[in-house]
Structure 1
Amino acid sequence: MNIVFDVDGTICFNGQYIEDELSNQITALQQKHNIIFASARPIRDLIPVVKNFNSRLLIGGNGSIVQNDDGIEVVQSIDAASFVTIKNLIHRYHLKYIVDDDFNYASNLSSDYKIYKQLDPDHLAKNIELEEISTPIKIILIDIPSNNYPLLKKHIEKLSDQLSINFHDNDRNIDITAENINKYTTLIKYLRNEDYIAFGNDVNDIQLLNHAVKAYFVGTKDNQIALNLQHLNLIEADTQLITQNIGKSLLN
């Protein structure tokens, strides 16, 4: 069986590594199943977290980039016109951002931000100027001021025919990829008609979870209801509980 794991908030809770107990359980799972990781991180930032596993397919950037037997491949980048519009919004509203190119990135975040420690942890890439980004695969607008968030949301929603957009209202973050690009659409491009089991924890995982033959939502009941995923199996965001659930449900 194919088993697909989101990473941050699902199996990784410190932004840097998977706890040994859970890591060992996933390794044991890999003896019988095909393990796939599907993350909001670009491949550059995903590999350091999952390098101990021999996964033949890594899905990064919310489906915008993959690593498989053929190497690293951009699935689809954001169209030029939409990128210009978003850059104009960034400048007009002085927004915090991470924009991933096919390898390098542009960001104006300081080290105070939690997501900063997930950004190029192995120092492989360069933080280049926003105008130097030529193949934008994913954009995150981060910590948008509360007084500007509703207006920014309206501006971005106007681009919904050209882009895939996930609004994280509680954090006031917006994740953006190209049209019809998400973890699920990229997964089925490579799995085709094969079934899979999925683990996820937020709005980026909704399509992935809803199309799985069996799915686990990691988090609170309130978050599960807010995302309209109450029909899925619920596991609290606790390494030990996730490890136990894998053991009971998938290893026996």
Structure 2
Amino acid sequence: MIKVLLVRGDVTRHISMLIAEFTIDHPVLREALRRVRDIEVVWEETYETETGLTKMLAWITSADFEGVEAAITDDSAMADFTMLAEVGDRRLYRLTFDDLGRDANLMPVLMDVGGVLQEAIGTNEGWWCRVRFPDRESLEQVYQFCGDNDISFSFDRMYEETDWGVGKGPKLTVAQREILLEALDSGYLSIPREVSLAELSGRLDISENAASERFRRAVRSLVEESVTD
């Protein structure tokens, strides 16, 4: 959608885009996301090789990489994987899609409708995605693709982003919003603090380490969006 604003005889082109945030139960890494507690997968890139293979690069955070790799091996959407790097409790993997993963790959349909995948994070709740669409019709086509491929689709929110940043919200995942709200409601943010990190993690049924990392990432996103230029 193009909006034109006239200011003292000058014309400024003002472009608005639709930002959709949604959670899907996608076949890719489904086994790992279901079986490994507190796993977090941060999507980096999906691409096709010259030989026609579809591959994905992703950072995986977990306290049980043996379980992660066993689940990937059992995943019907994955053909194979290679661990490329390790930093603390994070590992960078290159994953090759099997037929199921390739057929359910969202990237081709996103490219066809003019959408751009800005962020995708996999947790025990599924894949949370933020996608920029040129219009609602393109979003509906992606929704239809998910329905045709038996991929459950749950809307989180939609808003408008412009070239001026109007309407752009903090880049928080559903899990990050949940822990911030729980921290507020439980008194974790009170002075003095009313609950410990262990108690906060217990309320969310996640490990203390996962709660700490999720909270820090949420705060960092808020600071980056609200304070920094």
Query: TM-score with structure 2 length normalisation?
Result: 0.30
Query: TM-score with structure 1 length normalisation?
Result: 0.28
Bigger Cα Rg: 2
Return the structure number with greater strand share. Answer: 2
